[in-house]
Amino acid sequence: MRLRFIIPAVIAFVISLAIIFLRPETAVVDLPEKGTNIIAFGDSLVTGYGLTTVGDDFVSLLSKRTGSQIINAGLNGDTTGSALSRLEKDVLSQDPRIVIVLLGGNDALRHVPVEETFRNLGAIIDGIHAKGSAVILVGVKGSFFGDKYDNEFDRLADAKKVNYIPDILKGLFGHADLMTDAIHPNARGHAIMADRIEPVLKKLLE
């Protein structure tokens, strides 16, 4: 009878060891060359729109987890075009070392042509790279039912050689326990977002 309990326990232990020792190390492709500040640049997903408690947004969570101050340069309603127009003032003039870029959702909602969206994102990345700073590009969906955004984010990340977190809201849409409304995560959702960005950010901070 004991074997019924011992064998599953041994299997679970072996699987746990495999996960620990065989888990691939987080790879980074874009390392900072200069600068001092970490900046999160984007829209209402960056500001934490809809959250009721200060500090529940993913930017604040990443700051706590890494022990590093992160400047929140988010702006509700920002598109890639409006973000590009404020890049110098809100990012490049702040001596950036690492910039988390999370944009594109509002472009999709406003039906901005996909080509224009990713041209703007490319210009934002180029501006950051020109300062010797590293980029963490965070992807979003352009619609709920498949779109060009996935392929375009992949292509952009590869072309610009930036660190890339795909589809940051994957698994959150449609789950009321993770969202404050149809498009904005709640505190639990932001914790998941932070979980997805944290390994890359920590690697860049080493």
Mean pLDDT of 194-206: 97
Domain containing residue 133: CATH number: 3.40.50.1110
Look at residue 24 in the predicted model and tell me its pLDDT.
42
Q: Of 147, 154, 78, 84, which Cα lies nearest the Cα of 119? A: 84
- The CA distance from 54 to 61, in Å, is 10
List, for residues 14-24, the tens digit of each pLDDT value.
444 443 333 34
Count of the separate structural domains present in the chain: 1
What 3-state DSSP class applies to 83?
Answer: helix
- CA 194 to chain centroid: 8
Q: Is the pLDDT of residue 13 over 60?
A: no
Look at residue 151 in the predicted model and tell me its pLDDT.
93
> With pLDDT > 70 as the criterion, what percentage of the chain qualifies?
86
- The CA distance from 154 to 171, in Å, is 19
Q: Which of 12-16, 24-28, 30-34, 35-39 has the lowest mean pLDDT?
A: 12-16
Q: For all residues of the chain together, what is the average pLDDT? A: 89
List, for residues 116-145, the tens digit of each pLDDT value.
999 999 999 999 999 999 999 999 998 765
Structural domain containing residue 44:
2-205
Of 148 and 91, more confident: 91
> With pLDDT > 90 as the criterion, what percentage of the chain qualifies?
81
pTM of the model: 0.87
Mean pLDDT of 18-39: 73
> Measuring CA to CA, how many Å separate 29 from each of 50, 73, 91?
33, 24, 21
